[in-house]
Chain A
Amino acid sequence: MRLVKCWFCSSTIYPGHGIQFVRNDAKVFRFCRSKCHKNFKMKRNPRKVKWTKAYRAAHGKDMTQDKTFEFEKKRNRPERYDRNVTEDTLKAIKKIDKIRSTREADHISKRLKPNKQKALKSDLKEIDQHINLIKAPGSQQQDSEKVKVMVSSNKSVQNEAMEE
């Protein structure tokens, strides 16, 4: 039993799933489901189809280079069965999976975080462009100074009438 990758979306194909298409030049294309197969028949380039792994890798959306990927390489030589090795491998698979997924999540969150330097740059530019909206520091101080003006209290005629 061998787990292979879908040619279009790069997901793993488990036994009993999908179709493999053999082209006349003997190149084999494996598809995980009919969605990928149909897209292939439509001659769509997976590097341009947004939901595929190929697109995400090509556009830097997903993590591509990491040591954890090296554990999953295709090996053609069968290993002699050793119970201890098998047990260790199973444990390692789980651990590596966990590490890889946390690293991938980190990569994505780092990508989504606002870039502070970039934000600062754009803010400075905005200030430069719209400087006319901002008052000069000297003028601002003048306005804030409160001046006391003496006002004689003349009672208005209307008020007197109302009081009575």
Chain B
Amino acid sequence: MAAALASRLTKGRSLLGGLTNAFSGLVSSSSGSILSQQQQRTFIQMGTRLKVVDNSGAKEVMCIQSLRGKKGARLGDIVICSVKESATKVDVKKGKDAIQKGKVKKGSVVYGVVVRAAMQKGRVDGSQVRFDDNAVVILGIKEKKTDEKGKEKKQNYKGGFNQPLGTRVFGPVPHEMRLKKQLKILSLAQHLV
């Protein structure tokens, strides 16, 4: 998490990023030189760290495989991830954030759908949408069975991932979920974009 933040800083983005109010009146001359190189936002690929925005127990997740696209996943695609940081009671000894009924532990392999992507996605009306960060909602845990691994995986995927693992979703959710048949996530969302 710290490493991810550090890398973000070196690329010339302030810590608060898009959360600061533009009317706060930052002197452009001082920050202009730092922010002159603008980031090129690309696909979500192997190694990409994503934020988890449901209450499944995981906090941060790393993509290990994108199930769609050769170059990587975009907004609305499903990815296979490994949980890097979790808030489940097993992993967090004490703390207010410890989720009692957390379903995923650190190190487990999960399926997730990308609900927010920093890379812009084109919509049918011709507009482009982009979000502030890369975020994922966990759909299911990948079963680790040696013998029936091939069969199990096929079964899971055929049924499709429609039900998220958590019961709440935080932050804005795009309409692209409707196209991807993630209707439960849409219903749980606080804000629809």
Contact = CB atoms under 8 A, between A and B. Distances in A.
Contact of A19 (B130, B171, B190): B130
A47 to B, nearest CB: 8
Contacts, number: 73
A22 interface: yes
A16 B18 CA distance: 24
Contact of B35 (A16, A43, A45): A43
A26 B191 CA distance: 6
Interface range, A side: 20 to 34
B19 A25 contact: yes
B84 to A, nearest CB: 20
B125 A15 contact: yes
B25 interface: yes
Interface in B1-49: 14, 18-20, 22-23, 25-26, 28, 31-32, 35, 38
Nearest to B129: A20
Nearest to A42: B35
A22 B132 contact: yes
B193 A22 contact: yes
Interface string A33-53: 000001011111111000000
Contacts of A15: 125-127
B133 A24 contact: yes
Interface string A1-43: 1000000000000011111111111101000000000101111
Contacts of A43: 14, 20, 22, 26, 28, 31, 35
Contact of A20 (B22, B38, B128): B128
Nearest to B125: A15
B25 A22 contact: no
B180 to A, nearest CB: 17
B28 to A, nearest CB: 6
A24 B19 contact: yes
Contact of A26 (B20, B127, B193): B193
Contacts of B14: 43
A26 to B, nearest CB: 4
B102 interface: no
A42 B28 CA distance: 7
Which of A15, A22, A42 neighbours the largest number of chain B CB atoms within 10 Å of its CB?
A22
A42 B32 contact: yes
A21 B28 contact: no
A63 B135 CA distance: 43
A21 B119 CA distance: 10
Nearest to B133: A24
Contacts of B131: 21-22, 24
Contacts of B172: 22, 24, 26
A20 B28 contact: no
Which of A15, A17, A41 neighbours the largest number of chain B CB atoms within 10 Å of its CB?
A41
A143 B171 CA distance: 89
A26 B85 CA distance: 25
B136 to A, nearest CB: 14
A18 B131 CA distance: 14
16 contacts: A15-B126, A17-B127, A19-B129, A20-B128, A21-B132, A22-B116, A22-B129, A22-B130, A22-B174, A24-B171, A25-B19, A26-B190, A26-B193, A41-B38, A42-B28, A45-B25
